[in-house]
A and B are shown apart, each in its own frame.
Chain A
Amino acid sequence: MENGLLKFISCGSVDDGKSTLIGHMLYDAKLLFADQERALELDSKLGSNAGGMDYSLLLDGLMAEREQGITIDVAYRYFSTEKRSFIVADTPGHEEYTRNMAVGASFADLSVILVDACHGVLPQTRRHARICAMMGVRHFVLAVNKMDLIQYDFRQFQKISKSIRVLMSDFDYDTLYVIPVSATEGENITSQSEKMPWFHGEPLLTYLENIDIRTQAETPGALLPVQRVCRPDHTFRGYAGQVAHGNFHVGDEINVLPGGSRAVIAELYRADQKVEEVHEGEPVTMTLDREIDISRSDMIVRDYMPRISFLIGANLLWMDDEPLVEGKNFLLKLSTATVPATVMRIRYKIDIQSGAEVSTDKLVKNEFAFCEISTGVPLVFDSFGVSHELGGLILIDRVTNSTAACGTVEQDLGRDKNLTWQQLDITPKLRENQMGQKAFTLWMTGLSGSGKSALANALEKRLFAMGKHTMVLDGDNIRMGLCSDLGFGSTDRIENIRRVAEVAKLLNDAGVIVLTSFISPHRQERRNAGRILGNKYLEIYVNTPLEECERRDVKGLYKAAREGKIRNFTGISSPYEEPEHPFMTIDTTGRESDDCALEVLRRLGEWL
């Protein structure tokens, strides 16, 4: 096994024959156990391939995959030839399962992208090539498959070959090999095809056995991300991690980032062996000559200065069902650091078909974008091109815990010189996104005793349970404080409502959902509130009949009004002007508040 391990993936669009290609390769190269071969022959008989061998069954191991005849998730296979050990990840072609394809790509040194000879380069081919390039794959094989279906036509192959080279010119890579194959017929897989004498290159397996994947790139200095602190007793304090790149020797002076403390390496252990030096990839535990405060997520470096900032620019692949909007909060994991982070701006997304940069404020599943991300604490990072360790990241949704995105820190460092705090305007939209909600004001109007306050309270409980940020404004918290200088005359009543509307607007701008319950009997004052709040003003007419309100008479006010003890009482001695076009009307007679609240929630629909 002179050539070492090769980790590669097979990818490309649906039905381009990825699993079949790998399955056939394993079968032809006699890399299967007898029982696996037997099971394959048995399974094939039951399958759809008209009793012929269905090589894809070797890899599509999930029940749902066999039922649907598609690949859903990555399958890993391990095999060796005389020349080399291989791990191959067979990845799904459906757009729906793009994130699983990306999982495979993140692990690979080389990518075999299949192109159907009948269809040529498809959008999914472009997407997969882009994901591979983004995830750090440097070596590409573009296998033009199903050559049997186009009668092994040289001209057609040449045409597709040309469009492949155009496609790949968008990306940075070390090697590219374009090869015509037939996965079902086994042409150019493990041996030279006799059907295509015009092709003089090596068959696929031979090429994979021989390719040199050792990186030519200059490696940066030494980096040990601290995974955990090893403290068996008070005499030993070691920092455990895997050397990301470079070497460390006992006696080296090191720097600890982001803090910047310095120390000298006292001892080094490679796993459980005490050694003088450690190298890239090795699991180590390091002790230092002095006590400094180091914990998980700190980076120990020697002759290497990554960047430290609150703000990074990264290419993201969005993988969540929920779209990404600016201002949304996440946990960002980069190397051993997990920090709170906010996507401040989606600078542009990539159009898969043309590769063009398109401006947007929203990203949906399987889209790529360049984003500006701010972190709650200073982050030690580097561009992915310099350090995979400090340039690869994932975003974790704080509510669902799902891995919502993966990304790489932008290679062009000159670019993030433009990233400064001053440029970022914290808009109401950003605040809303950060809180994960749309802000609005539910303006409840109706007679005294109609049930406005009870409804507002019931609604707030429901909204709160949904994780929404809310605030109720009613007579109690407004009249006692903000409007304690106002009386009940008509001018003061108008001023009272104006102030309520202004406060609601401020709260809405802060991203908060506001529920107000004021009688607000006059159209003019409601119209005024609507003008202040704009399209966030949603009027709810609590239309409980006067008789019912009077029957309830919770505060004894109706009785007092009827006895003439209160003047200008709405509904008795002063008119209530019914809303002309309320957002909704609700009658609370004989209903539980919570029941009414649910009805309002249903009406709110997309506001929530």
Chain B
Amino acid sequence: MDHLDTLEAEAIYIMREVAAECEKPVMLYSIGKDSSVMLRLAQKAFYPEKLPFPLLHVNTTWKFKEMISFRDRTAKELGLDLIEYINQDGLARGINPFDNGAEYTDIMKTQALKDALDKYGFTAAFGGGRRDEEKSRAKERIFSFRSASHAWDPKNQRPEMWKLYNTHLHKGESVRVFPLSNWTEKDIWQYIKRENIPIVSLYFAAPRPVVERDGNLIMVDDDRMVLRPGEKVETKMVRFRTLGCYPLTGAMESTATTLDEIVEETLGAVTSERTSRVIDTDGGSASMEKRKREGYF
């Protein structure tokens, strides 16, 4: 077994444990590359059975158009049970990433996620988070326990020995499960290549309309993007290292149009992948931990 086989086996073991022990699991599906890998692993884990749990996409309504069409195509092709959840209240109030900043992420992502989990009564939710992404994630257990209010208590995590996961919960409590905890960005790309996993084409470089804003290249994905004075739309050869809400996701200039080129670029990368996520640094170096404590994935 090589390194990828070992990671694959670990993820499959985790998924089977959840399916066997947790009352009502769900898989968070964010349409990104990690979600695509997680989905493939789940198909393998339960083959020849269909997935024994639904997928949940928390839609902020600000995702790249291409992500949504990819999502719908994938769900149809694979016959997935996909739940889409939108915070209708936030939508009605016109909460958006341009005017509302951090509040936007809280209402349309964190709150929406908590509402969705409560609404369906899910007791376990798979997420594609990896420990190499960010410092507070590096500290999180694979089975990450959440209180009835979805809070994470980083100072009091359950011990997790060998692969003996304790899935016991009181009513109302839940657990977030991260089968890709031990994967790195490089592993993800190499696995995508090895397994020929379809991913959103935004990951590949192409000429795209972008504006430079606060040091990030933001793609103009639709006409809701209002230009600030002095900003102008340019067409640049760019790709995305991570995908999220288009106004909050920075593109990188690149000519990598194939998986090989992306892997090569990743291996030689001088910055970590989350530098392009505006959300992580908004609020200081500990902002991810704060969000996670409040229930963000």
Does the CB pair A396–B9 fall under 8 Å?
A: no
Does the CB pair B154–A232 fall under 8 Å?
A: no
| A462, CB-defined interface residue at 8 Å | no
Give Cα A103 to B136, complex, Å: 17
Does the CB pair A34–B154 fall under 8 Å?
A: no
Q: Which of A1-52 contact B (CB under 8 A)?
A: 1, 4-5, 33-36, 39, 43
Give Cα A242 to B16, complex, Å: 10
Other than A63-B286, A392-B164, A401-B168, give 9 A-B pairs with Cβ distance below 8 A. A62-B136, A76-B138, A87-B182, A100-B157, A102-B161, A296-B20, A333-B166, A336-B20, A388-B162
Does the CB pair B155–A106 fall under 8 Å?
A: no
Does the CB pair A271–B155 fall under 8 Å?
A: no
Q: Which of B1-51 contact A (CB under 8 A)?
A: 1, 3, 5-6, 8-9, 12-13, 16-17, 19-21, 43-50
Residues of A contacting B272 in the complex (Cβ-Cβ under 8 angstroms)? 33, 35-36
The size bracket of the interface on B is: 35 or more
Give Cα A284 to B48, complex, Å: 12
| A230, CB-defined interface residue at 8 Å | yes
Give Cα A31 to B70, complex, Å: 35
Residues of A contacting B271 in the complex (Cβ-Cβ under 8 angstroms)? 33-35
Give Cα A279 to B169, complex, Å: 34
Residues of B contacting A238 in the complex (Cβ-Cβ under 8 angstroms)? 48
How far does the Cβ of B159 sit from chain A's closest Cβ, in whole Å?
Answer: 5
Does the CB pair A73–B13 fall under 8 Å?
A: no
Residues of B contacting A106 in the complex (Cβ-Cβ under 8 angstroms)? 160-162
| B158, CB-defined interface residue at 8 Å | yes
| A306, CB-defined interface residue at 8 Å | no
| B139, CB-defined interface residue at 8 Å | yes
| A128, CB-defined interface residue at 8 Å | no
How far does the Cβ of A534 sit from chain B's closest Cβ, in whole Å?
Answer: 38
| A444, CB-defined interface residue at 8 Å | no
| B132, CB-defined interface residue at 8 Å | yes
Q: Is the interface of A mostly helix, strand, loop or mixed?
A: mixed
Name 20 interchain pairs, CB-CB below 8 A, sorted by A.
A1-B3, A33-B269, A33-B270, A64-B154, A73-B155, A75-B135, A99-B159, A100-B157, A102-B159, A103-B141, A103-B159, A135-B162, A232-B48, A272-B48, A281-B1, A282-B9, A283-B45, A333-B166, A396-B168, A401-B166
Q: Which of A81-120 contact B (CB under 8 A)?
A: 85, 87, 99-100, 102-103, 106-107
Does the CB pair B12–A271 fall under 8 Å?
A: yes
Shortest 4 CB-CB distances between A and B: which pairs? A61-B135, A272-B47, A271-B44, A283-B12
How far does the Cβ of B14 sit from chain A's closest Cβ, in whole Å?
Answer: 10
How far does the Cβ of A375 sit from chain B's closest Cβ, in whole Å?
Answer: 15
Residues of B contacting A501 in the complex (Cβ-Cβ under 8 angstroms)? none
Give Cα A333 to B162, complex, Å: 12
Residues of A contacting B157 in the complex (Cβ-Cβ under 8 angstroms)? 73, 100
Give Cα A388 to B6, complex, Å: 17
| A394, CB-defined interface residue at 8 Å | yes
How far does the Cβ of A472 sit from chain B's closest Cβ, in whole Å?
Answer: 30
The residues of B with any CB-CB pair to A shorter than 8 Å are 1, 3, 5-6, 8-9, 12-13, 16-17, 19-21, 43-50, 131-132, 134-136, 138-139, 141, 154-155, 157-162, 164, 166, 168-170, 181-182, 184, 269-272, 275, 285-286, 289-290
Give Cα A217 to B46, complex, Å: 33
Using A43-B285, A62-B289, A282-B1 as known contacts, say yes or no to A73 and B158 having CB atoms under 8 A apart: no
Does the CB pair B168–A227 fall under 8 Å?
A: no
Choose among B45, B181, B182 the residue that contacts A271 (Cβ–Cβ < 8 A).
B45
Give Cα A106 to B21, complex, Å: 22
Residues of B contacting A396 in the complex (Cβ-Cβ under 8 angstroms)? 166, 168
Residues of A contacting B170 in the complex (Cβ-Cβ under 8 angstroms)? 401
Using A227-B13, A296-B20, A394-B164 as known contacts, say yes or no to A402 and B275 having CB atoms under 8 A apart: no
Residues of A contacting B138 in the complex (Cβ-Cβ under 8 angstroms)? 59, 61, 75-77
Using A76-B131, A78-B184, A406-B161 as known contacts, say yes or no to A61 and B289 having CB atoms under 8 A apart: yes
How far does the Cβ of B203 sit from chain A's closest Cβ, in whole Å?
Answer: 19
Give Cα A35 to B272, complex, Å: 7
Residues of A contacting B275 in the complex (Cβ-Cβ under 8 angstroms)? 35
